[in-house]
Amino acid sequence: MVSINELKRINSYEWEIPQSYRADMQVPVRIFASEELLKGVTRDKSLEQAVNACSLPGLVGSVMVMPDMHQGYGFPIGGVAATKYPQGVISPGGIGYDINCGVRLLGSRLSYQEIKPYLDELATALNQFCPSGVGKSGHFRLSTREVEDVCRDGSRWAKKKGYASDQDLRRTEEGGRIQGADPHYLSPRALKRGTNQVGSLGAGNHFIEIDLVAEIYDHQAAQVMGLREGDLALQIHCGSRGLGHQVCSDYVKSLQGAVHRYGIELPDRALVCAPLESPEGEAYLSAMGCAANYAFANRQVLSHYAREAFESVLAGKVSDWHLFQVYDVAHNIGKIETHQIGGKSTQVCVHRKGATRAFGPGADDLPSEYKKIGQPVLVPGSMGTSSWVLRGTEEAMERSLGSCCHGAGRVMSRTQAKKSIRGEDLRKQLNNDGIYIRAGSMAGLAEEAPAAYKDVDLVVDTVIGAGIAAKVARLKPLVVIKG
């Protein structure tokens, strides 16, 4: 177990486990955390997992962990790592089981005062229009060929079906479509699991939330994003559902053989990987792209039905119920990107697991309006607490591979949360706070209680202090839909 005393302090918000800590480390670990948050990191094995990840072949820079870090499968959640492309490796554990779990933010011109009488009705409509829960089906029953189309085209598939606008796609990471995705690399089981879940939320920490834009910190950036203090916004947090989980399961199993074939030694079999230029590595990268595209389409379809829910409740009662896209960004994904590493422009495969891309001003991959201010970075809080809209910075490009935190980060396992928190008590507390809740089960509600998470404000203050993001707006929850 890594001790806090063994960390090298870089500044108030950055710490390092040097490469010399263990003989098999290819690079150091860089930790973004305040002193207060650092006190809790030894409660789990996240730092040990980060050290283990440093053994992967072809790593460049450092393995980074964000302040919302906690223990995951193989890699810590909140981890960022880059391997040289194509000589390095790709590891499913560095991306996670819920491939392209991400967040979409929609804005509105609805003020809190005009919408307040309809919040309860809106909660019910969203819960009906946007299916949620374990194994819950979406709005479609697709054939295998149609699932393959979703996996190739992502949000573009949704646009062809009439569920997306040009702005929706333009304001989605990668335009809502990862190139190189080939359904040939998906198992029959993965394809089957994708037939009925497009347009569904799932369970766990996934949610749809109506928020109040409570406070603006950067008026220029907020204006570009279309956010106004006192107006409503809507967040959607979900991923690739059963299809993505199956992709990860399939390749974690199949790549165990690749590790032996290519003579790769690992301290933890959960770090299983394959060289990017090997047939196995190319197969996983393509399959992962399929799952990522499925997730983009899923969030896009959910956006469409959220808009329909708003229209069903508000038509004839308010002048403008339209929800416009602010941004959609992944936080469980592997991407081929070009970064400055050691002063050289280097093509790398960036693994982000529970970490959000946070590209700064001028980045080529951003819509023209966001090139001026940097990419919107969406950081949802725990249920019942604030969420944050940030923007990427030039410093993030230089120091964190254009990456930032993705949420609050757990301090309590789901099992622990259910043992210590009663869902019914939590629901009453949230209702007393003026938050309308729709949840599939009280046990599921307890799993996601605010007490199970770190303080998201401390997490955000850390990335702001480190300079890898800047505050734009704080969101306050009004309605929460949980599976």
Which CATH number characterizes residue 164's domain? Answer: 3.90.1860.10
Number of domains in the chain: 1
- Inter-residue long-range contacts of 181-185, CB under 8 Å, 24+ positions, other chains counted: 181/151, 181/152, 181/154, 181/286, 181/289, 181/290, 181/292, 181/293, 182/152, 182/286, 182/287, 182/289, 182/290, 183/147, 183/148, 183/151, 183/152, 183/290, 184/286, 185/283, 185/284, 185/286, 185/287, 185/290
Range of the domain at 50: 4-411+453-482
**Residue 439 belongs to a domain:** no
pLDDT at 4: 86
Predicted pLDDT at 454 = 92
Instruction: State residue 383's pLDDT score.
Output: 84
Give me the residue label for tokens 């779990």. 101
Domain assignment present for 141: yes
Among 182, 189, 296, 181, residue whose Cα is nearest residue 247: 189
Could you give the 3-state DSSP secondary structure of residue 16?
A: strand
| Domain annotation covers residue 102 | yes
- Smallest CA-to-CA distance from 180 within 253, 91, 274, 276 is with 276
Whole-number Å distance between alpha carbons of 198 and 142 = 9
pLDDT computed for residue 139 by the predictor: 80
> What CA–CA distance (Å, rounded) separates 408 from 460?
8
Question: Helix 279-314 vs helix 241-261: angle between axes, to the nearest 10 degrees?
Answer: 170
Can you give the pLDDT at residue 140?
84
Listed as ranges, residues in the chain with pLDDT below 70 are 135-136
Q: Which residues are catalytic?
A: 406
DSSP at 453: B
Output the six-digit token pair for 38: 């650092």
Report yes or no on 425 lying in a domain. Answer: no
What is the per-residue pLDDT for 476?
Answer: 98
Q: Confirm whether 417 is domain-assigned.
A: no
Is residue 445 a part of any domain in this protein? no
- Chain centroid to Cα 27, Å, comes to 25
Which candidate, 377, 374, 357, places its Cα nearest to that of 366?
374
Beta strands in 13-101 (DSSP E): 14-17, 29-32, 59-70, 77-84, 89-90
Is there a domain that residue 432 lies in? no
Residue 161 falls inside a structural domain: yes
Q: In 12-164, at which residue ranges do the beta strands (DSSP E only) sit?
A: 14-17, 29-32, 59-70, 77-84, 89-90, 102-111
pLDDT for 290: 98
pLDDT of 423: 83
The whole-number pLDDT of residue 250 equals: 98
